[in-house]
């Protein structure tokens, strides 16, 4: 399945706001569009297991965020608030129209900043598996990368060792060798250390985001892994309690929900987007969540 999905992803580079960005696009024309942002320390190929399912229903554009994957790093974009502004430029320059954003992991706070500042451009947001709670609630090693006063001590880390250790935790069908190798190459040399700068902005940006959450009217689906040790479930619950039009779905996985339970992840995204036809439909989805509809989906 992974090999055919990789073949279905037209991967290349394009310039957005002056930065060289690696992206993957789907074929065909669809009424709706979805912008997907790659998780950390992964790349656009993280979406290979769900690509075909989503492409049947929407036009897809997946990007490696600047400084992640194989996209060019720009110092001024290495924070969630700045990355949120960048996402709106992607929507405009790539002519996505009023798009849905699927932004797990590090894309979560950026997508929410974008929804707060440019709600007319964004139809809905799917987030999760990301630091969001204030005070910060993270497991190791992420907590140290974010909060340790001496970031330079992480420069000596073996990036391949870090990426391999993270990918080794992926349960379910796991990560194919060719995709793992892409992840390793993406963060080789200084790339992984440099990418930590984005997470180091959390202590400043997450309180700013928390102050905006209650005013975000964009529908938000939060998908989180029940057994995520790096980003505890409290972060997803923090968002669900404060976002006025949101639904929380908890899957029986670890951190990498989109790869550990790809069928369940894709099904939730498709069901969410397909149900957002009117404000009344949004309310029905959210009320269904409150009644327990998304409380515990089994791993596929």
At residue 96, what are phi and psi to the nearest 5 degrees?
Answer: -85, -10
Structure tokens at 91: 């929507």
> Which residues, other chains included, contact 163 with Cβ-Cβ below 8 Å and sequence gap of 6+?
41, 183, 184, 187, 192
**Mean pLDDT score, 165-191:** 95
**Mean pLDDT score, 72-97:** 96
In 3D, which of 165, 50, 170, 40 has the Cα closest to residue 105? 40
> Which residues, other chains included, contact 82 with Cβ-Cβ below 8 Å and sequence gap of 6+?
76
Report d(CA 171, CA 256) in Å as an integer: 8
Q: Calculate the average pLDDT of the chain.
A: 91
pLDDT tens-digit map of 17-69? 999 999 999 987 788 999 999 999 999 999 999 999 999 999 999 999 999 99
Please say if the pLDDT value at position 269 is more than 80.
yes
CA distances from 39 to 72, 106, 238, 259 (A): 16, 6, 20, 11
Per-residue confidence (pLDDT) for residue 70, from 0 to 100:
97
Instruction: Tell the residue number behind the tokens 């796991």, with chain if given.
Output: 174
pTM: 0.90
Per-residue confidence (pLDDT) for residue 277, from 0 to 100:
61
Domains and CATH numbers, the chain: 2-290 (3.40.50.1820)
Confidence of residue 130 (pLDDT cuts 50, 70, 90): very high
In 3D, which of 222, 230, 228, 220 has the Cα closest to residue 260? 228
Per-residue confidence (pLDDT) for residue 288, from 0 to 100:
56
CB 130, CB 105: distance < 8 Å: yes
Q: Is 224 helix (H, G, I), strand (E, B) or coil?
A: strand
Report d(CA 53, CA 270) in Å as an integer: 8
pLDDT tens-digit map of 200-237? 999 999 999 999 999 999 999 999 999 999 999 999 99
Report d(CA 52, CA 192) in Å as an integer: 29
Question: Which of the residue ranges 40-54, 90-104, 133-147, 272-286 would you say has the lowest mean pLDDT?
Answer: 272-286
């Amino acid at each position: 399945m992974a090999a055919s999905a990789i073949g279905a992803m037209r991967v290349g580079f394009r310039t957005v706001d002056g930065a060289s960005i690696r992206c993957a696009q789907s074929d065909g024309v669809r009424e709706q569009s979805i912008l997907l942002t790659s998780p950390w320390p992964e790349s656009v190929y993280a979406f290979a297991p769900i690509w075909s399912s989503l492409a049947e229903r929407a036009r897809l554009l997946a990007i490696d965020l600047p400084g992640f994957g194989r996209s060019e790093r720009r110092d001024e974009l290495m924070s969630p608030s700045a990355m949120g502004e960048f996402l709106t430029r992607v929507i405009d320059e790539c002519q996505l129209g009023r798009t849905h954003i699927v932004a797990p992991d590090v894309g979560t706070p950026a997508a929410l900043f974008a929804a707060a500042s440019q709600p007319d451009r964004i139809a809905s947001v799917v987030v999760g598996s990301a630091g969001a709670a204030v005070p910060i609630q993270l497991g190791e090693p992420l907590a140290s990368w974010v909060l340790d006063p001496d970031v330079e001590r992480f420069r000596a880390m073996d990036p391949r060792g870090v990426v391999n250790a993270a990918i080794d935790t992926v349960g379910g069908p796991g990560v194919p060798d060719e995709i793992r190798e892409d992840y390793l190459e993406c963060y080789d040399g200084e790339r992984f250390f440099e990418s930590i700068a984005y997470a180091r902005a959390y202590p400043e940006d997450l309180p700013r985001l928390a102050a905006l959450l209650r005013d975000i009217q964009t529908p938000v689906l939060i998908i989180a892994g029940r057994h995520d040790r790096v980003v505890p479930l409290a972060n997803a619950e923090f968002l669900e309690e404060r976002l006025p039009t949101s639904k929380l779905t908890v899957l029986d996985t670890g951190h990498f929900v989109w790869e550990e339970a790809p069928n369940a992840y894709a099904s939730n995204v498709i069901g969410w987007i397909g149900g957002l036809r009117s404000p009344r439909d949004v309310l029905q989805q959210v009320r269904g969540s409150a009644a327990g509809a998304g409380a515990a989906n089994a791993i596929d």
